[in-house]
Structure 1
Amino acid sequence: MTTQEAQVHAQIEAVITRLTGPGGRFEIVPETVLGVTMPVMRRRGRAVGDLMAASRAWGDRDYLVTADRRISYAEHLAAVAALATALRDDLGVRAGDRVAILAANSPEWVIAFWATQCLGAISVGLNGWWTPRETDYALRHCRPSVLIVDAKRAESLTGLDTSGIAVLTVESDVPRLIAARAGAELPRAEVDEDDPAVLLYTSGTSGKPKGALHSQRNVLAVADYHRFSDAFAIELSGHTYTDTEPSPLRYLLTSPLFHIASLHNLVVPRLATGSAVVMHQGAFDVPAVLGLIDRERVTNWAPVPTMAGRLLACENLDDYDLSSLTAFALASAPSSIALQDRLRERFAFARDALVDSYGLTECSTAIAVATSADLEQAPGTLGRPILTVDLEIRDPFGVRVPDGTEGEVCVRSPFVMLRYWEDEAATAAAISPDRWLRTGDFGVLEAGRLRLVGRRSDLILRGGENVYPTEIEQCLEEHPEVLECAVIGVPHEDLGQEVAAVVVVRPGTAADEPELHQFAAGRLAYFKVPSRWLIRTEALPRNATGKVIRRSISL
């Protein structure tokens, strides 16, 4: 380490100690969480809904901005108060009830989320790309009392059993209820910090989506981590952080709100910091996104690698002023060293601002973050564990292994979910009695930095979306002519991976690729439908216990 590097390191450590040490604004102390002692912030909230009332301090500052709308904190608070009152008084929503949202990104999505939180109810983010079959499963699984749905997805509800569910449309019912209750006082519910707050679905290896249940503590811990990050940057620059000053940062939202990247780590923390959310709506479109960055002077953007890669193909970048971007974080899926290098070569904002991270829905936020310096010093790293996260690499018996040894990534922190919704077996398999989460991912710690050596052995990461082969295989095996099949991920230049299927059909069958593609498309979200196929009559390779040997399968 050079003298200059040592000085920078000492300055960073001094700032962290000042902020998180005794008496610091973000003082870290050991406390008991669900029966286990772990590090938490001493000064913290207890209810997510309380962030709503506190946001009154940000007044007329921008909170939500779209291509054609601009909603201030004050306007947002009034809308949330009205909708929450209507949900409580007209529809009987109470603490612990589920309010599900099935819609594309919109200000109404956000308003509905906060209205639910103010009642102590559980906000359920449903995947807007699901097919009716998948939506039907989730509705039966979480049993919401209210479903808020946009017009496009309302059409997909035809034929589904929604009895007992009050269905509200984004385009008409939500604005009507807000108008009818204009001027209402903001409700407040009494909740414990380990009460549930949010339910988000993540595909499971069992073939069905699993509901990751996040607590009030989980969500608020994420908001406090983002507060700390802002404070760290301010203090490192030589200024003094204060809670009462709103942040001037402006964050671009390009991923679905039913993901933790957009909800927990973007929309929620902004309410705590007073910064703005600039929301891109509709399918990802490079000119539209660059136009928003230019017009709204966006400072922070965390795209999935696929989005970042598509920027490289843009031929008219000079038409946009991107100089406001000071933070560029790749998120939600692994990115290659080559992609990172190309981004730095092409974009000035990526040379000093590019960071990478690793996280899971089950963990509410990032587990580890790699700074620009980390990526320069150790290309391919995912960085160091973030504040309050304990990370260990363990062997198959659950024993911690030395640094430099590969094993399963295990984490414990106030960010780790409560449990999987109504799935004791899956919860027990994932979370140990002492609250360590087994991620199912495999990696190695090198000089304190995490490097993944393989995501879950069968997980496919397509353009930022997790795709589990078992779910697709079970679907295809419902076809009468399919004997067995194996689904694998194969490299794709734009998406990172694409879904491929090796299907064993009955001898003499007429089943072909178009037929199987149509069969899958009617039952699975489009990103799960295989785009490459190999149809054969030869049996799949299996081991002695009868399990398919995926590494022996190729197209």
Structure 2
Amino acid sequence: MTKPFDPQASVAEAAARLTGPGGRFEMVVEEVLGAPMPVLRHRSSSLGEVLAASITHGDRDYLVTMEHRWSFTEHAAAVAALATALRERYGVRKGDRIGILAANTPEWVLTFWAAQALGAIAVGYNAWWAPREIGYGLRHTSPAVLVVDAKRAAQVAQLGIRIPILTMEHDVPALLADYRTAELPQTTIDEDDPAVILYTSGTSGRPKGAVHSHRNLVAVIGYHVFNDALAAELTGTGDLPTGRRYLLTSPLFHIASLHNLVVPRLVTGDVAVIHQGSFDADRVLRLIEREQITNWGAMPTMATRMLELDLSAYDLSSVAAFSLNSAPSSAALQQALRDQLPVARNALVTSYGLTECGTAATLASPAELAAFPDTVGRPVLGVTLEIRDSAGNTVSDGTEGEICVRSPYVMLGYWQDETATAEAITADRWLRTGDIGILEDGRLRLSGRRSDLILRGGENVYPTEIEQCLEEHPAVRECAVVGVPDAELGQRVAALVVVEGGVATREDELRAFVAARLAYYKVPAHWRLTTTALPRNATGKIVRTEIEV
């Protein structure tokens, strides 16, 4: 009798061949920051080492926009020039922070890699922040130099800061010309030295800086190359893919674009095509046609807007891989993609992760996502995932609890916030995500986002920050901010505001007040003004489930 084919067993067997003793991706257990951790035996020791090796890709394209193309050779030379300029002219040394505040540009990427060559720490500030938020970020991480685009330069000018500010349009090109013959700096790096800080929203009302080490990002690279090798093993080709063209549509200050797209391409030798400007589905689809994009990871909101167009009007035949990232996706959206986008019929995947994880913690294959639309997949290479109860005990299969993750991808901690770090990461390096989920037959299903979190179009929004902002207005007595369902964005921000009796104020006044202080996506789209006190429990906490907006 013929034994039925088990796809999951086949994947497990192929993975075991690659990661077992003597395998190309042999996994071993080493002590990392005091805890046993599965790591790749054969790995680079730093991002500087990765950068130096990238020159072997030569004149192949690395970064592409509508106006410019940078080969790997040109990129390495530009990074050498910029890093040398930052060291010689601005005194940047190992451990200093180099701030980056800009929309997606090749110069953003150059600055990141220049920081790695110096052993400095790149800080990716949120380009959508309002001036007040920018000021907080600069005070929090104290960069030695700030690299900005022209739009953000105008915002920074309002702050009266004293650090050197370099514009991408003028100062960076001038430095590249002045130091064009410079050699790539060589800096001694420990694997657990910090490499980058990316900000994520915090329950305390202030963004927190997630610190990722060289080990974290090198491990992310290894994970991506392993996935390529696993696919080759399963198809029997044995050869790693070449000539892929990745479309970058998410901000570079997100791990989806930086850690999981731009950084691994320096090893795989593939192209990163950068879409610039706000998301426009027609422009993006035309870019896919022009650049013959093969791989695209889109936010669900982007996919939704794309499906509003007639896709038959575009040549999308080059696209061979498509994923939904950064936010949960509905079964209806997944099916609509399969119905209208040819690649999605056999290659649609999704994942679960967060900034603190560094990369995906789980990945759902096309077959499993089709069979279980609410799954976000199984733990990826090197990830151990557990569901725990409120006491920290592991729960049984099928039981809801907090998702906890341990892997070489998990951040070092939060910049200058020992309390928040201790709350998020246990002594034995388990990350408490704060997300609620269920493991069933090895597959993860999300049952709730972090308490109170609003997930608006891939951006994390915590009510506390908006509430604290609103409470600065003299007419606001108290307020509560919640998420309300939205077909396009997943959720929109809504505010219930208790105003002082007899004080004249209007919705548009409060909207403008928030918009002047916070990023646009945090400004409530729905408002209800009242003089009735908010519902609270016995301990005085707001009962958000009773709030109607």
Interval containing the TM-score (normalised by the shorter chain): over 0.9
Give how far 1:162 is off.
1.7
Q: After superposition, where does 1:325-404 map in structure 2 within 5 Å?
A: 325-404=319-398
Task: Please give the secondary structure, in 2, of the residue aligned with 1:168.
Answer: strand
Q: Deviations over 1:208-267 (max 9, x none)?
A: 00000000100110011001111111222212246xxx7221110000000000000000
Instruction: State how far apart, in whole Å, the 1-side matches of 2:474 and 2:7 are.
Output: 65
- 1:159 is displaced (CA, Å) by 3.0
Deviation at 1:9, TM superposition (A): 3.7
State which of 283, 297, 314 in structure 2 corresponds to 1:288.
283
**Quick one: which of 308, 318, 328 aligns to 2:303?**
308
- Structure 1 counterpart SS, 2:432: strand
Give the corresponding residue for 1:252: 247
Distance in 1 of aligned mates of 2:3 and 2:145:
58
Give, in angstroms, the shift of residue 94 of structure 1. Answer: 0.7
Structure 1 partner of 2:76 = 77
Could you tell me which residue of structure 1 aligns to residue 274 of structure 2? 279
Report the CA distance between 1:7 and its aligned residue.
4.8
- Letter of the 1:145 counterpart: A
Query: What corresponds to 2:516 in structure 1?
Result: 522
- The Cα shift of 1:449 comes to 0.4
Aligned residue in 2 for 1:547: 541
The answer to whether the aligner puts 1:463 opposite 2:457 as a matched pair is: yes
The aligned residue for residue 443 of structure 2 is 449
Return the alpha-carbon distance in structure 1 between the equivalents of residues 2 and 355 of structure 2. 40
Q: Between the two proteins, what is the percent identity of the paired residues?
A: 63
Q: Within 5 A, what are the aligned runs for 1:191-270?
A: 191-241=189-239, 247-270=242-265
Deviates more, 1:172-181 or 1:8-17: 8-17
Q: Distance in 2 between matches of 1:360 and 1:3?
A: 43
Provide the C-alpha distance between the structure 1 equivalents of 2:4 and 2:451, rounded to a whole number of angstroms: 38
**Which runs of no fewer than 5 residues in structure 1 stay unpaired?**
none
Q: How far off its partner does 1:377 sit?
A: 2.1
Secondary structure, aligned partner of 1:302: strand
The answer to whether 1:297 aligns with 2:292 is: yes
Letter in 1 for 2:56: A
Per-residue deviation at 1:13? Answer: 2.5
Offset, 1:14:
2.8
Which residue number corresponds to residue 122 of structure 1? 121
* RMSD of aligned Cα (Å): 1.2
Shift of 1:188: 1.4
TM-score, with length taken from structure 2:
0.98
Match of 2:485 among 491, 495, 501: 491
In structure 2, what is the Cα distance between the partners aligned to 1:309 and 1:335? 10
Looking at structure 1, the residues matched to 188 and 21 of structure 2 have their Cα atoms a distance apart, in angstroms, of 30
Contact 2:330 2:373 in 1 (8 A): no
Q: Which residue does the alignment assign to 2:13?
A: 14
CA distance in 1, matches of 2:67, 2:158: 34
Aligned to 2:91: 92
Q: In structure 2, do the counterparts of structure 1 residues 241 and 510 end up closer, same or farther at CA, with 3 Å as the change threshold? A: same
Q: Please, which of 171, 179, 182 is the counterpart of residue 173 of structure 1?
A: 171
- 1:499-527 Cα shifts (integer Å, max 9, x gaps): 00000001122111011001100001000
Judging changes above 3 Å, is the alpha-carbon distance between structure 1 residues 188 and 3 closer, same or farther for their aligned structure 2 residues?
farther
Aligned to 1:106: 105
Letter in 1 for 2:36: T
Letter in 1 for 2:381: L
What letter corresponds to residue 295 of structure 1 in structure 2?
Answer: R
> What is the CA deviation profile of residues 368-409 of structure 1, one whole-angstrom value per residue up to 9, with x for unaligned ones?
111111112222000001011010000000000001000000
C-alpha offsets along residues 65-120 of structure 1, whole Å, 9 cap, x if unaligned?
A: 11121111111111111111111111111110000000110111111110111000
Structure 1 pair 375–4 and aligned structure 2 pair: CA distance change class (3 A): farther
Distance (Å, rounded) in 2 between the aligned partners of 1:254 and 1:159: 29
Between the aligned partners of 1:19 and 1:240, the Cα distance in structure 2 is 11
The number of aligned residues is 549
Q: Verify the 8 A CA contact 2:334 2:373 in the aligned structure 1.
A: no
Aligned-partner SS, 1:208: coil
Letter in 1 for 2:525: S
Maintained 8 Å contact 2:118/2:187 = yes
1:399/1:7 CA distance change after superposition, 3 Å: closer
Alpha-carbon deviations, 1:462-487, whole Å to 9, x = none?
A: 11100000000000011011011000
Q: Secondary structure in 2 aligned to 1:141?
A: helix
Give the letter for the 1:496 counterpart. G
- SS of equivalent residue, structure 1 residue 417: coil
Aligned-residue offset at 1:547 = 0.3
Which whole-Å CA distance do the structure 2 matches of 1:152 and 1:295 have between them? 28
Question: How far apart in 2 are the matches of 1:241 and 1:434?
Answer: 38
Q: In structure 2, what residue type is equivalent to 1:452?
A: L
The amino acid across from 1:234 in the alignment is: A
1:171-223 C-alpha deviation (Å, 9 max, x unpaired): 00000000111121111110100010000000100000000000010011001
Corresponding residue SS for 2:47: coil
Determine whether 1:511 maps to 2:510. Answer: no
Q: Secondary structure at the match of 1:105?
A: coil
Q: In the superposition, relative to structure 1, how do residues 9 and 398 fare at CA in structure 2: closer, same or farther (>3 Å)? A: closer
Q: Distance in 1 between matches of 2:102 and 2:372?
A: 40
Instruction: Give the CA deviation at 1:6.
Output: 2.5
Distance 2:50 2:239 in 1: 19
Q: Match for residue 188 of structure 1?
A: 186
Partner of 1:64: 63
Tell me: CA distance 1:433–1:323, structure 2 relative to 1, closer, same or farther (3 Å): same
Q: How far apart are 1:5 and its partner, in Å?
A: 5.8
Deviation at 1:144? 0.2
Q: In 2, distance between residues paired with 1:4 and 1:233? A: 23
What is the one-letter code of the residue matched to 1:112?
Answer: T
**Separation of aligned partners in 2, 1:400 and 1:256:** 35
Kindly indicate whether residue 472 of structure 2 is the aligned counterpart of residue 478 of structure 1. Answer: yes
Q: CA deviation at 1:10?
A: 4.1
Determine the C-alpha separation between the residues in 2 that align with 1:314 and 1:23. 50
Amino acid at match of 2:5: A
